[in-house]
Structure 1
Amino acid sequence: MIARHFISLAALLAATPVLADTPLTLSETEQAAPALPRILAPRERASLENRILAERLDTIIPQIMREEGIDLWLLVAREYFEEPVVATMLDAENMHARRRTILVFHDPGEGKPVERLTVSRYGLGGLFAPTWDPDKQPDQWQAVADLIAARDPAKIAINSSDLYQFADGMTLSQYDKFMQALPPAMHDRIVSGENLAIRWLETRTPSEMELYPTVVRLAHSVIGEAFSRKVITPGVTTASQVQWWYRDRLMALGLDPWFHPSVAIQRQGAKGMIEGDEVILPGDLLWTDFGITYLRLNTDTQHLAYVLKPGETEAPAGLRAGLANSNKVQNFLTRAFKVGISGNDALAQARKDAIAAGLDPSIYTHPIGHHGHGAGPSIGFWDNQKADPRGSGPIRANTAWSIELTSYAAVPEWGGQRVDFRTEEDAFFDGTTVRYIDGRQTEITLIPSD
């Protein structure tokens, strides 16, 4: 039985279509059922992830520290309790912090390189220079205090923030130990590293953006399979079965979801979204929300599909118009992006323009990158279409976004029923223009019923 199991798994993997290493680029056009790009083996992934991490440390850290006026940035993590920033600074072979991992960035000024140090029992992939010898100084916190005192920084940033979870990594116990060891005369030099944490996480480098189209294409390809007769047999398949097909498919491909996929049905005469063990029928409008993590980058996509009734060759005109309305809201939102304005300002402008055009929008767009719901200012929430403290931060160049929103419309073919046309596509803002990373859905996917 064991042998048969391995043969079955091997057959599944062998059946996976692959492409050559053809680099993809940012595109405004989304393919309806794209082929699956080649997925790298673990060693290839690790090599690529380490190279990009080194580039990020070399380029982003000096820029943000100098622009924010920070002389020293202290990061503390513990094994299996990595704070969000440290987790993105671990090399591919160090999957977790070891015991207590302390990272220090120090800018000596005068154009000298930023020091990258680790006050830890173990090294860290050659990216941070080890500075602690426990045989000479058994107290790790005292070793940190001595290192800082020797460099005499004017501003010492620690990750503490009430607003952003990404910048709140310093726990109370570690803060207390640190402050006990730090000379009292330096206590008033402690400042929040909130902006450093957000900017480190939200900034996308050219190397990452060379990879991102392939990462998003992988997600689009899997969605294309899910919304097809390969997976869905109308009158038989349930919404929950498609959800779990996603999970099985990703496991076979060696990919990870960052949330459990969603699949739901909107149906003429039925109220709202129908989920769970409901059987998919001809005439249904299907919705999915699906995201993967690959090469330390995340995707977040929502697509729509229509199950054709016998004799139909396209979705009803009212459904097609509904998706077109959501595409218009996308256009209003992406045109509102400007460097330096807040997420709240972009939300207000996009809603004003969409409503003036006769649309009924709800916008809940968020940054994406190292995390699915990434660091940076939010642009609306599904339950709050007004200004929010989490949307008060500035929109910056070289950031990636999940353009997530919906518009509501009455569908004549469904007796004027109000339908929710949710859409979500990943995009990149270069400081001037928002471009989709692998296109966006402009036509409802069709699933034959016979």
Structure 2
Amino acid sequence: MSETEQADPQVPPLLSLRQRAEWIDANLEERLETIIPQIMREQGIDMWLLMAREYFEEPVIATMLDAKSMAARRRTILIFHDPGEGREIERLTVSRYGMADLFAPSWEPEKQPDQWQAVADIIAAREPDTIAINYSDLKAFGDGMTLSQYRLMTAALPEKYRDRIVSGETLAIRWLESRSTRELEMYPLVVRTAHAIIAEAFSRKVITPGVTTAEDVEWWYRERVSNLGLKVWFHPSVGIQRQGEDEMLRGDTVIQPGDLLWTDFGITYLRINTDTQHLAYVLKPDETDAPAGLRQGLANTNAVTDILRSHLKTDLTGNEILAAARKEAIAKGYDPSIYSHPIGFHGHGAGTAIGFWDNQDGDPRSEYRLFPDTAWSIELTTYADVLEWGDQRVDFRTEENALFDGEQVHFLDGRQTELALIPSD
């Protein structure tokens, strides 16, 4: 990890497809052996049931498939059982197909054709006091149980076990938000890859002022990522702020000298995601640097970023962090909007959000508390009147990926502290 971003980062060597599969499976095994016991005992859950149908994977099961399993097969049912007294967590699969030796096969269709009865028999044999299934009114990541599967499962269960069913919402979030040691070791390299691609995009390799459009750069991103054998998890964005224009310009607008460029870009590599926003300035022919007002705008945003970082504390809610950070930033004269979020298996990941761009006053989704060893997109903006642009109000957005270790927020591959400069000739 590094607090300083390289000025001209290069795409690091990427793993082959076979190496990626080996890494994914090793990481999954580590997660199952370490995170599952931790979160089940933390939440006081004896048994956790997960169910998905082919091509309709729920968010948690999608992250538990081995590297050769592209989707759930027919109906995939996974069961975690804590027998207590510190004994090893059982990992069972009640499915027709195996799960790369990560789960013990626990159904013989030839002897018991009814898959739901097989689940009921496993439950009865273990007598769990609590049975978690994924349903939630608030969190999409914890709402993977479908109505049809719930009906079929409970129809096969004796009534006494139905009364022991509880929500697995927090288990689902804890599984998804917790980062393994392998992920923490690899994440800086994944972010470095994204930073290097952005550095290429914001250069004369890609942008010819007076010719290239914002949309051209967006599609260059898509081609570049595809050629690297990677994926984007959202279509890249490129916007233009221009003196005399009130709104962000996009699409077929041609990039010109004097423009402030913004990009929002994220890749998926080894099942983990990045999410980055950077700024660049297109130099006019007689310029060697961006106007002072634009440079100060980025500095303001970084100052608010540091304020926000200082308020991330274990067990605080996202709403508490948002309120404290905004209060301090505003008191210091900044005009902020904060909308940071967890990142990991999903770009907008499981966990508590710290603000939303359209809600700076607190949100029910942000009453969840902050946990250590979680990865973050530290995302926000500040607004400032730029003297050189006739006191035009300019939006200085930033987004960098970081780790919260329980005490501090560490950038995974530094952050942008200087505007990228693109020569016009």
| In 2, Cα distance between equivalents of 1:149 and 1:236 | 69
Deviation at 1:423, TM superposition (A): 0.3
Q: Does residue 269 in structure 1 map to residue 252 in structure 2?
A: no
What residue number does 1:338 align with?
313
Aligned partners of 2:48, 2:161: CA distance in 1, in Å?
14
The corresponding residue for 1:54 is 29
Shift of 1:272: 1.6
Aligned to 1:182: 157
Is 1:248 matched up with 2:223? Answer: yes
- Residue 405 of structure 1 corresponds to which residue in structure 2? 380
> TM-score, normalized by length of structure 1?
0.94
Alignment pair present for 1:224 and 2:199: yes
Distance 1:221 1:182 in 2: 54
Which residue among 378, 381, 386 is the counterpart of 2:361? 386
| Structure 2 residue aligned with 1:436 | 411
In structure 2, what is the equivalent of residue 148 of structure 1?
123
Q: Distance in 1 between matches of 2:2 and 2:180?
A: 18
For residues 365 and 228 of structure 1, the distance between their equivalents in structure 2, rounded to whole angstroms, comes to 27
The amino acid that maps onto 2:94 is: V
Measured after TM superposition, the shift of residue 180 of structure 1 is 0.3
What secondary structure does 1:321 align onto?
helix
Q: Does 1:87 align with 2:56?
A: no
> Equivalent residue for 1:119?
94
- 1:56 alignment partner AA: R
Query: Cα offset for 1:271?
Result: 1.1
| 1:128-167 to 2 correspondences below 5 Å | 128-167=103-142
User: What whole-Å deviation, never above 9, does each CA across 1:311-342 have from its counterpart, x for those lacking one?
Assistant: 10000000000000000110010000100000
Task: Please give the alpha-carbon distance, in whole angstroms, between the structure 2 residues aligned to 1:204 and 1:272.
Answer: 39
Q: Deviations over 1:87-109 (max 9, x none)?
A: 00000011110000000000000
Deviations 1:238-286 (A, max 9, x none): 0000000000001111010000000010000001200000000000000
Aligned residue for 2:370?
395
Relative to the length of structure 2, the TM-score reads: 1.00
Q: Structure 2: give runs of 5+ residues left out of the alignment.
A: none
Q: 2:340 maps to which residue?
A: 365
Among candidates 250, 255, 274, match of residue 299 of structure 1? 274
> Residue in 1 aligned with 2:351?
376
Instruction: Identify the residue that residue 282 of structure 1 maps to in structure 2.
Output: 257
Report the AA paired with residue 313 of structure 2: K
Alignment-derived partner of residue 415 in structure 1:
390
Return the alpha-carbon distance in structure 1 between the equivalents of residues 345 and 10 of structure 2: 25
How many angstroms apart in 1 are the aligned matches of 2:134 and 2:253?
46
Secondary structure of 1:126's partner?
A: coil
What amino acid is the match of 2:226?
A: M
Q: d(CA) in 1 for partners of 2:254 and 2:354? A: 35
- Find the residue that maps to 1:149 and give its secondary structure: helix
Q: Supply the distance in 2 between the matched residues of 1:167 and 1:338 (Cα, whole angstroms).
A: 24
1:288 is paired with a residue whose SS is strand
Aligned equivalents of 1:435, 1:110: Cα separation in 2: 37
Pick aligned residue for 1:201 from 155, 176, 183: 176
Name the Cα RMSD after superposition.
0.5
| 1:265-312, Cα deviation, whole Å (9 max, x unpaired) | 000000120000000000000000000000111000000000000010
Q: Distance in 2 between matches of 1:97 and 1:113?
A: 25
- Paired residues in the alignment total 425
Residue 190 of structure 1, CA deviation: 0.2
Residue type matched to 1:180 in 2?
A
Q: For residues 217 and 313 of structure 1, what CA distance do their matches in structure 2 show? A: 27
Give the corresponding residue for 1:215.
190
Check if 1:233 corresponds to 2:208: yes
CA distance in 2, matches of 1:47, 1:333: 37
In structure 2, C-alpha distance between the alignment counterparts of 1:185 and 1:250, rounded to whole Å: 53
2:66 aligned with 1:66: no
Q: Aligned-pair distance for 1:415? A: 0.1
- Quick one: distance in 2 between partners of 1:394 and 1:336? 13
- What residue in structure 2 maps to residue 315 of structure 1? 290
CA distance in 2, matches of 1:40, 1:397: 28
Question: Which SS does the other structure have where 2:261 is aligned?
Answer: strand
- Residues of 1 paired with 2:402 and 2:249: CA distance? 29
1:145 CA displacement: 0.5
Which amino acid in structure 2 is aligned with residue 196 of structure 1? L
Deviation at 1:207, TM superposition (A): 1.4
CA distance in 1, matches of 2:276, 2:7: 14
| 1:36-69 Cα distance to aligned partner (Å, 9 max, x none) | 1001110000001100110000000001101100
Q: CA deviation at 1:439?
A: 0.3
Q: CA deviation at 1:206?
A: 1.6
What SS does structure 1 have at the residue aligned with 2:163? helix
**1:171 counterpart letter in structure 2:** T
